[in-house]
């Protein structure tokens, strides 16, 4: 598959959306779709869709459009969903527990194999079939269990320390829910979910609209 | 305060980050900061920071920098944090319960006043001091309680219906955690938290980096 280098983050951030829409089309037994129709569903222009997908290879056929199953498989492949990933959750508070309970991620190939917390009241409790362990045990666990992704759900004051420990154990992918920006080595990728910032954006937009 | 029209979404999305960093500076008793120092903390250039803040008014002073308390107050004002907002959570599953338990939002002026679910096993349960009510009751509740924000945490198959009901009751701001793109009237703002898409972005980036 031909692939352009230096794909912009904006395009990358749209890929999961394509994947989601194509999954829905597959579920509804749609065999093929034009860039125009796909664009109308997603809310992009047909030309945007063609441009985006051209970054990753030569999909679709003039006059036919996209074969849904094929494009779904290819995007799944580009995203890396065909592989399996092990993750651990550090911090078993509200968000950590919610993530541990959330089954959708397993469908995306990401399984939570461990969950850790510092609170003695939580240690030993089970979420699904995973026992919450002492936070001090996660470095050893990561080393012994080929963990791919570290999910940080501790309060912000502890998040950088946890991040440092995760990367010291060889973790290269961090999903960060703590409301801080983490510093990591260059070969580590971080994806932030900053809920407070999302809520503030909503509040701002609502105020602007209704002044 | 002078204010430019048509501020880009990119700038708007950075505002909560400024607010967060300024809150930290305030907590650490920092009185003033230059755009260069603030830039180094946040990871933006000094010029980016000056440009961003200039969209909203005339902050800072050549040779002095920014007065932290003043800038914090002004950004808080721009974001609308000085007001109070009532929200309801529709869907008391993992994410809905985590959000109801999350105290940070109260500090931002957003309080969850009601939580609703269709599951009879959940109805009547309390989260903090809020009783989970029958999902059928939320339209009546919204009408009687001046609710500002609807938080959608139901499965994607029900999310559009819930959204339609929320907007029909006059809700103008939707915080959506369901993995679909909602259709709303023009005067309604929606902010999405699409966790699966965030996780897929992480997986993609990790794969690219370590191929």
Q: Is position B17 within any domain?
A: yes
Instruction: Count Cβ atoms within 10 A of the Cβ of residue B62 and give its class: 0-12 exposed, 13-18 middle, 19 or more buried.
Output: exposed
Tell me which of B38, B55, B77 is where a domain ends. Answer: B77
Q: How far is B207 from chain A (nearest CA, A)?
A: 7
Measured between beta carbons, which residues in chain B are less than 8 angstroms from residue A173?
202-203, 205-206
Tell me which of B40, B58, B77 is where a domain ends. Answer: B77
Q: Could you tell me the CA-to-CA distances from B171 to A105, A122, B131 in Å, in that order?
A: 30, 38, 21
Do B143 and B165 contact (CB within 8 A), yes or no?
A: no
Do A180 and A159 contact (CB within 8 A), yes or no?
A: yes
ipTM at complex level: 0.90
**pLDDT (tens digit per residue) in B82-125:** 889 999 999 999 999 999 998 778 888 999 999 999 999 999 99
CATH number for position A36: 1.10.10.10
How many structural domains is chain B composed of?
Answer: 2
Q: What are φ and ψ of residue B25, in 5° steps?
A: -60, -45
Residue A150 β-bridge partners:
A88, A174
Scanning every residue of chain A, which has its alpha carbon at the shortest distance from the alpha carbon of B172? A206
Do A203 and B81 contact (CB within 8 A), yes or no?
A: yes
Do residues A112 and A49 share a domain? no
Tell me which of A46, A79, A112 is where a domain ends. Answer: A79
A79 vs B43: CB contact, 8 Å cut-off? no
Q: Is position B90 within any domain?
A: yes
Do residues B189 and B100 share a domain? yes
CATH number for position B144: 3.40.50.720
d(CA A22, CA A72): 6
CA distance between the termini of chain B: 51
d(CA B128, CA B151): 17
* pLDDT in 10s for each residue of chain A, 211 residues: 445 567 888 888 899 999 999 999 999 999 999 999 999 999 899 999 999 988 887 787 777 889 999 999 999 999 988 889 999 999 999 999 999 998 778 888 999 999 999 999 999 999 988 999 999 999 999 999 999 999 999 999 999 999 999 999 999 999 999 999 999 999 999 999 999 999 999 999 998 877 6
Residue A114 β-bridge partners:
A88
Q: Could you tell me the CA-to-CA distances from B125 to A135, B86, B128 in Å, in that order?
A: 30, 21, 10
d(CA B75, CA B82): 10
Do residues A50 and A138 share a domain? no
Measured between beta carbons, which residues in chain B are less than 8 angstroms from residue A99?
94, 195
Do residues B93 and B170 share a domain? yes
> Whose structure tokens read 């796909």?
A38
Q: Is position A1 within any domain?
A: no
Q: Is position A3 within any domain?
A: no
The three-class DSSP label of residue B60 is: coil
Task: State which residues form the domain around A174.
Answer: 85-197
Measured between beta carbons, which residues in chain A are less than 8 angstroms from residue B181?
17, 42-43
């Amino acid at each position: 598959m031909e692939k352009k280098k230096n794909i912009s983050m904006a395009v990358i951030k749209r890929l999961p959306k394509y994947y989601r829409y194509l999954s829905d089309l597959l579920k509804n037994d749609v065999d093929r779709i034009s860039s125009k129709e796909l664009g109308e569903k997603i809310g992009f222009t047909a030309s945007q869709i063609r441009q985006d997908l051209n970054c990753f290879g030569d999909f679709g056929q003039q006059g036919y459009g996209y074969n849904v199953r094929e494009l779904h498989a290819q995007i799944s492949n580009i995203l890396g969903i065909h592989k399996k990933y092990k993750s651990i959750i550090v911090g078993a508070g509200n968000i950590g527990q919610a993530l541990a309970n959330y089954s959708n991620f397993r469908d995306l190939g990401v399984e939570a194999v461990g969950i850790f917390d510092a609170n003695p009241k939580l240690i030993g409790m089970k979420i699904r079939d995973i026992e919450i362990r002492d936070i001090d045990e996660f470095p050893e666990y990561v080393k012994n269990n080929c963990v791919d992704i570290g999910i940080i759900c501790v309060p912000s004051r502890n998040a950088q320390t946890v991040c440092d420990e995760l990367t010291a154990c060889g973790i290269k992918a961090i999903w960060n829910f703590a409301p801080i920006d983490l510093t990591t080595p260059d070969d580590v990728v971080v994806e932030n979910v900053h809920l407070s910032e999302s809520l503030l954006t909503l509040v701002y937009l609502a105020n602007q609209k209704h002044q």
